[in-house]
Amino acid sequence: MVITAAKHVGQWIVVLWLGLLTACGTPSAPPRDPMLPPSASDLELLGAAHLCDAEGTIVKRWEGIRYQRVPWGTGEQLQRLAQSGQPDHDRFYFFNDEQRLVGAVFRYNQGLSLKPYPLLRQTLSELMPSSTFYIDPTQLLSKEGAKSAVLYRTGDYTSTTQYLVLETDGDPALLVASLAIDPYEQLLSSYRETFLPGLNRSRSATPGGPSLEADQRDDFLGLQQFARGEAALFGSCGTAQPAIAIEAYRQSIQHGLTDEARLAEAHNHMSLALRDQGHLADAQRELEQALSLRPNSPAIISNLGRVLAEQHQPSRAIELFKRALVLRPNYAEARFNLAKSLERIDTRRAIEEYETYLALAEGIRREAKRIKFVLERVRQLKDE
């Protein structure tokens, strides 16, 4: 998708557009998790490789193939440009500080016809477009009309896949495909100028659409380390790594995050990693810093209450949980924390709060373990 196709379609100007795509046809994909968007595809992207693979594992598979290593912030990028043996597309693989694959972009220089991929076409027909890129707006005044490329997003619980598709009559063509573990998605979006060198960005783009190049902003290193911290804290590659998360969040703050909300989240999430490591006083300091930036954040308030409860300050903790629930009455985690803190003070109220939590958490996948605990705890409290 090198917009090498640009020589065929003219200059690209981005105009963001949100809309709906009507699903059509009968799905041919296998049954999927109803909590996730359609994602089945018969187009192989990574092949035998997987997100989170070690760099050495991937390089070993490329033996005899020319590729280039280039810096990517504090990580590294491997790029394989189209060669005589495999001329269809360019590949860009991105690795973090731990040399794990966190994302990849595939650029189809002449556009890849989707006719041979019925399963992917069906999936795209069921997805809502994230945005549309209009090609050569001067065509809007012609009878032919403007062509457009549509960005589709899908994925699973830990990663996101994007497809940028040129909408042509009867034969849609894939221009770029990308996949990334979720924290890195914004740094590896299919619409980035790096992967679409012929694309000119409209300065009047609708908010929420394609943004300026992430790696051209002063805070790129901060964003990259923030993503690294998120991946380590939440176990994007299978196992949580709080020590790495703490280091990454500290670096993100030191590099500078211009978005105050993200800066507050860096302090907030660093506190979670510190708490996991047993450093409660340090976690409290990070939360207080986060709260100074976002004083009305229910999540930060609740997290501070939890840390205080674990430092045997139940009264202060209860007040914070109540404050978080005033701001967000349906906040299941704060409701759980309040119930737990009330157990030794007011058993009846604790049971009520636990039961309210169960109603709020019903059907939420990530709450399954906690729900099981609460069901047993309520039974025990009622028997006492």
Residues 52, 176, single domain; the answer is yes
The pLDDT tens digits of the residues spanning 302-315 come to 999 999 999 999 99
Q: 266 φ, ψ to 5°?
A: -65, -45
Residues 126, 179, single domain; the answer is yes
Q: Pull the structure tokens for residue 256.
A: 């500078």
Question: For the chain, how many structural domains are there in total?
Answer: 2
Residues 247-256, mean pLDDT to the nearest whole number: 95
Buried b (16+ CB within 10 A) or exposed e, 167-181: eeeeebbbbbbbbbb
Q: 298 in a domain, yes or no?
A: yes
Which is more confident, 160 or 213? 160
Residues 100, 237, single domain; the answer is no
Q: Which one, of 296, 249, 289, 239, lies nearest residue 273 by Cα? A: 249
Q: Count CB neighbours of 257 within 10 A.
A: 20
The pLDDT tens digits of the residues spanning 313-368 come to 999 999 999 999 999 999 999 999 999 999 989 999 999 999 999 999 998 988 99
Residues 173, 254, single domain; the answer is no
Which stretches of 114-189 are assigned E, i.e. beta strand? 131-135, 147-155, 159-167, 173-181
Residues 374, 336, single domain; the answer is yes
Written as one string, the DSSP assignment of 271-324 is HHHHHHTT-HHHHHHHHHHHHHH-TT-HHHHHHHHHHHHHTT-HHHHHHHHHHH
**Distance of alpha carbon 249 from alpha carbon 240, whole angstroms:** 14
Mean pLDDT computed over every residue of the chain? 83
Q: 214 in a domain, yes or no?
A: no
Residue 212: pLDDT band (50, 70, 90) is very low
Its pTM stands at 0.81
Q: Which of 208, 243, 275 represents a domain boundary (last residue)? A: 208
**What is the per-residue pLDDT for 302?**
98
Q: Pull the structure tokens for residue 57.
A: 């594992």
Instruction: Note whether 232 and 244 are within 8 A (CB).
Output: yes
**What is the per-residue pLDDT for 59?**
94
**What is the per-residue pLDDT for 6?**
32
Which is more confident, 172 or 190? 172
Written as one string, the DSSP assignment of 182-241 is GGGGGGS-TT-TTT-TTEEPPTTPPTTS--S-GGGSTTHHHHHHHHHHHHHHTTTTSS--
**Distance of alpha carbon 335 from alpha carbon 306, whole angstroms:** 11
Buried b (16+ CB within 10 A) or exposed e, 20-31: eeeeeeeeeeee
Q: Which amino acid is at 372?
A: K
Residues 195, 284, single domain; the answer is no
**What is the per-residue pLDDT for 167?**
78
The pLDDT tens digits of the residues spanning 57-108 come to 999 998 888 899 999 999 999 998 886 555 578 999 999 999 999 999 998 8
Helical packing angle, 298-310 and 260-276, nearest 10°:
20
Q: Pull the structure tokens for residue 90.
A: 């360019």
The pLDDT tens digits of the residues spanning 109-150 come to 888 999 999 999 999 999 999 888 765 544 444 555 556 788
**What is the per-residue pLDDT for 202?**
37
CATH value at residue 337: 1.25.40.10
Q: Is the pLDDT reported for residue 3 higher than 50?
A: no
Q: Is the pLDDT reported for residue 206 higher than 80?
A: no
**What is the per-residue pLDDT for 146?**
58
- The range of the structural domain enclosing residue 246 comes to 220-383
